[in-house]
Amino acid sequence: MSHMKQKLLEQKHLGVAIKQVLAEVDMTQIALADRSGIPRNTLNRKINVGIFNFDELRRIACAVNRPLSSIVASAERLDSAEDAIPALAEEGAK
């Protein structure tokens, strides 16, 4: 797997990990936008693409009262699971 492909998978999984945290804490993206100070449209776009800067990630972690490291670890677990089960990668592309 090329470096670029790996990077894209990690980015996608970061957005998925944030969605999972939101579900766990029963928070909407609108509430996260309000609490983090990230505009709603920007937050939605970034969650779907998975590209955030460090400050945005820190603000999200603070808003959901989770360590940033736990969100990143969740994204890494998703990435590892997808590498272990190639069918997941194909399903995610659909």
- The residue ranges of DSSP E strands in 12-78, in sequence order, are none
Q: Give per-residue pLDDT as tens, 40-81.
A: 999 999 999 878 999 999 999 999 999 999 999 999 888 887
Domain ranges across the chain: 3-85
66 φψ region: left (φ > 0), alpha (ψ -120 to 50), beta (else): beta
Fill in the DSSP letter of residue 37: T
Q: Specify the CATH class of 3-85 in words.
A: mainly alpha
Tokens found for residue 23: 């579900």
Give pTM, 2 decimals.
0.77
